[in-house]
């Protein structure tokens, strides 16, 4: 377990590591970094190399144990930036734990094997860190996807890949990770895992999963709030649909009541899979020029930016199993007033 602080800095490109200077100016060393959570300006889909580039340049700058979650896609008003989760000597009120699953075999990606592996890793992390389940506000996971090569590898061993569509594999991997979180946090029953994989309808309110071509295992970051030490806090909720402003203002009102200042917002967004929002047709799933994840990030990003007045927000696409279908979880980390 570690008491933490959360800081964010803009970047001029996916290869910009200048935020390290800001971090140092704030009194932290790169050794203190538990996690680097970035929004980079790629398409956030299969051929997004901005993410890989960010992973590459940051790899040598941070402790080996640190988790990196680079999520592509700063559509609309969103601004490319880096969020640091850093160890803090004082008791800030926020705590974090980081960990990884074992390397997943290609044929395990998007299956119950991945969900169980994620769940078991989270349980160990909670045990070791002493974080209680009810203190958890957000679990960020970066998980692998199926590249064309991996699909062929699976076929070569006589197995059937969970999907042969690389883009679709990103969704399946996110969903498996989210189910793992849901089981670990008692939001989803382990005995219903297979059914949940079939129905695609189970969800966690604390999960934020993204998938990338640059890793083979799942990287896990747990953020918790103890609410009785320090003045840093995190609260979480979920949007029922992509225009659920009320879910956001409820959280921001709580921050305001405590005279607080937002450190960062972590949210997930997705195009409602039914093809409509509050009974009105949307076109995110039928636009063959722009993937639905890009549409969803742009729209939810516009809403969150308007309500918070900030554009350096962590909004990640693909919310399968993360909040209700068409909606998504939100976590607001903030510094409470004196």
Binding site feature residues for Mg(2+): 270, 319, 322-324, 327
> Least Å distance between CB 125 and its own copies?
30
Residues placed in the known binding site for substrate? 51, 71-72, 174, 210-211, 297, 316-317
Token pair 């350096």 in the structure block, residue: 312
- Of the residues 8, 39, 142, 268, which is catalytic? 142
Cβ proximity to its own copies: between 31 and 287 the closer is 287
> Per the residue annotation, which of 210, 225, 236, 292 is the catalytic one?
210
Q: Is 57 or 336 the residue whose CB approaches its own copies more closely?
A: 57
Contacts of 174 (CB under 8 A, 6+ apart): 143, 209, 210, 211, 318, 319, 320, 321, 322
311: left (phi over 0), alpha (psi -120 to 50) or beta: alpha
Sole residue written with tokens 């889909």: 45
Query: Which residues lie across from 296 on neighbouring strands?
Result: none
Active site residue 142: yes
101-118 burial, b at 16+ Cβ within 10 Å, e below that, comes to beebbbbbbbbbebbbbb
Integer Cα distance of 197 and 283 in angstroms: 26
Nearer to its own copies, 3 or 264 (CB): 264
Contact (Cβ atoms closer than 8 angstroms) between residue 12 and residue 57: no
Query: How far apart (Å, rounded) are the C-alpha atoms in residues 323 and 204?
Result: 6
| Active-site annotation holds for 150 | no
Write down the least CB distance from residue 116 to its own copies, Å. Answer: 26
CB 140 within 8 A of CB 221: yes
Residue nearer to its own copies on the CB measure, 213 or 332: 213
Q: How far is the CB of 143 from its own copies (least distance, A)?
A: 17
What positions carry a catalytic annotation? 142, 210
């Amino acid at each position: 377990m570690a008491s933490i602080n959360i800081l964010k800095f803009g970047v001029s490109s996916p290869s910009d590591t200048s935020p390290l200077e800001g971090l140092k100016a704030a009194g932290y060393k790169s050794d203190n970094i538990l996690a680097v959570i970035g929004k980079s300006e790629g398409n956030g889909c299969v051929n997004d190399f901005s993410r890989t580039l960010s992973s590459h340049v940051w790899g040598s700058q941070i402790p080996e144990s640190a988790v990196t979650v680079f999520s592509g896609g700063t559509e609309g008003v969103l601004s490319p930036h880096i969020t640091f989760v850093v160890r803090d000597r004082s008791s800030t009120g926020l705590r974090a734990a980081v960990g990884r699953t074992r390397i997943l075999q290609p044929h395990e990606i998007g299956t119950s094997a991945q969900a169980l592996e994620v769940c078991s890793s989270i349980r160990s992390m909670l045990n070791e860190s002493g974080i209680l389940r009810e203190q958890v506000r957000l679990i960020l996971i970066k998980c692998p996807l199926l590249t064309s090569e991996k699909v062929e590898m699976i076929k070569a061993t006589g197995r059937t890949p969970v999907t042969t569509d690389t883009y679709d594999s990103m969704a399946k991997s996110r969903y498996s990770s989210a189910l793992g979180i849901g089981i670990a946090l008692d939001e989803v029953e382990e005995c219903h895992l297979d059914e949940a994989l079939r129905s695609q309808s189970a969800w966690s309110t604390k999960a934020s999963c993204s998938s990338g071509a640059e890793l083979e295992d799942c990287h896990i970051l747990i953020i918790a709030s103890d609410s009785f030490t320090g003045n840093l806090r995190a609260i979480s909720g979920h949007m029922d649909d992509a225009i659920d402003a009320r879910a956001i203002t409820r959280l921001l009102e709580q921050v305001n009541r405590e005279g607080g200042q937002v450190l960062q917002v972590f949210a997930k967004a997705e195009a409602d899979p039914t093809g409509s929002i509050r009974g009105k047709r949307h076109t995110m799933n039928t636009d063959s020029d722009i993937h639905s994840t890009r549409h969803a990030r742009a729209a939810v990003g516009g809403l969150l930016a308007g309500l918070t007045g900030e554009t350096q927000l962590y909004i990640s696409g693909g919310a399968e199993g993360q909040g209700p279908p068409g909606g998504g979880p939100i976590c607001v980390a903030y510094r409470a007033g004196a």
